[in-house]
Amino acid sequence: MKNAKRRITGRELSKRIALFFILYFGWPIIKHFFKPIVFAVYGTKKDQRAYWPDWIHSRLRGAFPIGLLRFNNQWGFVAASNINAEQFADKPHLATTYINELLREFPKAHVIALAGGLPGWVRRVHGEIPEPCVDGSFGTRFAMTAATIDAARTINKNPKDLVISLIGGAGYTGSQVVTDVSRHFHSVVALDPRYKDDIHFDRRVLYTDSGISLRSVMIHLVLTRCGDDIENLIPFIQAGTVVVDDTHPCLSPRIRKKLTSRGASVWKAVMADGRLEMIPRMPNFRSDNIPGCLLEALVVLQRGRGVLVTYELFSKAAEELGFHAELMRHPDD
C-alpha cells in the first residue's frame, strides 16, 4: 500500500493547458492516422472545472481528448465529455450520445474503455455496448476481488473468517462481484436500495437495503455510481473496519473525513503497473494507476477480444500479464 500526495504547480498547469489545446484543435487531423486505445471518462462539475473554466465548456465538442496514455509501446488517449456526472445521472440517454460522439471522434480506436457508470447508463437506454467499447465489468471484478483479499491482509485476518459487504451490489457489475468475493470470504452482505427485502442465498450472501447489516462487517467494498452515495450509511460503519473505494466519481474528501473520524481506514482500489503512464494524471489517481475499467481494455489490447468470452479466460490472462491489485490512500488527500 502506498500513499501519494502532490500539488499541481503553475508550470504543470500551464503544460496541461498547452496539451489540451494541442489535442483539441489538432485532433480533427490527427485522428485519421492513429489506431489508439481510448479511455473515456467524465467528471462532476467540480472535476470539469479542474481542467477548463466554465467559459470554455460551452465551446467543447461532445467527446474530445484531454490527455495521453502510454502502455508499453502503445500510445492512446484519455477522452472526456462536455456532459458531467450529474447530467448523466439525471438523463441516462446522454451516455448514448457520448458513446456516439466517441465513435465519431475516434473512428480507428482499437478499444475504448468506458469509465464509471457509463456502461450502465448506456444499457438502460440502448441495451448493448457497441464495439470497440468494453464495459469494464471483467476488469472491475478482477480488481475488486484482488483488492478485498489484500484488505484482509491489512487487518491480519484470514478471508474465510471475515464477513464483508459490497455497497452497490444490485448493479450489473456489483452483482457479479458479490458472487466472486463470496468464494473467498465467510459471507457477504450485498447492500443496495434496489433490494426491497432481506434475501439469503446459499447461507453465504445476504441481499439487503438495510444499513444495520453493516455493523458486523470488517471490510466494505464501495461500488456505487458515485462514492458519496454511501453518506447515509456512515453511522453503521464501525471503528477498525476497512473501506475500499472503487467508485467514479470517488469518495469525496468530506466523506473520507467522516469515515476516518469514525475510526475506519479508507483506501482506494487500483491495479498497479509501472508500464502505464497517464499525462496528465486523473484526479485521485497516480499517473501509473489502472482503474478496473481501463484494465479490461489493456488486457484486450494484448490478448484480443477472445478473453471476454468468459470471466475465467479474462482473469487468467490478466494474471499471466502480471497485473496485480494495490490499496493506496486517495492521492489528493
126 and 37 housed in the same domain: yes
- 3 — pLDDT class (breaks 50, 70, 90): very low
Please give the residue range of the domain that contains residue 292: 10-137+273-320
- Cα atoms found within 13 Å of the Cα of residue 50, Cβ hemisphere only: 18
Burial of 58 (0-12, 13-18, 19+ CB in 10 A): exposed
| Model pLDDT for residues 176-214, shown as the tens digit of each residue | 999 999 999 999 999 999 887 777 777 789 999 999 999
How many folded domains does the chain comprise?
Answer: 2
Instruction: Assess whether pLDDT exceeds 70 at residue 68.
Output: yes
CATH of the domain at 264: 3.40.50.720
Instruction: Identify whether residues 174 and 67 lie together within a single domain.
Output: no
Give the number of C-alpha atoms closer than 13 A to the C-alpha of residue 35, restricted to the C-beta side. 3
Asked if residue 117 and residue 97 are part of one domain, the reply reads yes
Q: Which of 268, 302, 328 represents a domain boundary (last residue)?
A: 268
3-state SS assignment for residue 163: strand
Let me know whether 14 and 132 are in one domain.
yes
From residue 74, give the alpha-carbon distance in Å to each of 22, 36, 212: 20, 8, 48
More confident residue, 211 or 8: 211
Considering the domain architecture, whether residues 206 and 242 belong to the same structural domain is answered as yes
In this structure, the answer to whether residues 174 and 256 fall within a common structural domain is yes
Asked whether residue 119 falls in the same domain as residue 66, the answer is: yes
- Take residue 184 and report the three cell numbers written for it: 473467498
Q: Quick one: 25 and 125 in the same domain?
A: yes
Residue 83 lies in a domain: yes
pLDDT tens per residue across span 98-130: 999 999 988 889 999 999 889 989 988 877 899
Same domain assignment for residues 15 and 74 = yes
| Prediction pTM value | 0.83
Q: Are residues 76 and 41 in the same domain?
A: yes
CA angle centred on 164, ends 149 and 270, rounded to 5°: 45
Per the domain annotation, does 218 fall within a domain? yes
One DSSP character per residue, 210-266 reads -GGGGGG-SEEEE--SSGGGGGGGGGGPPTT-EEEE--SS---HHHHHHHHHTT-EE
Is the same domain home to 189 and 72? no
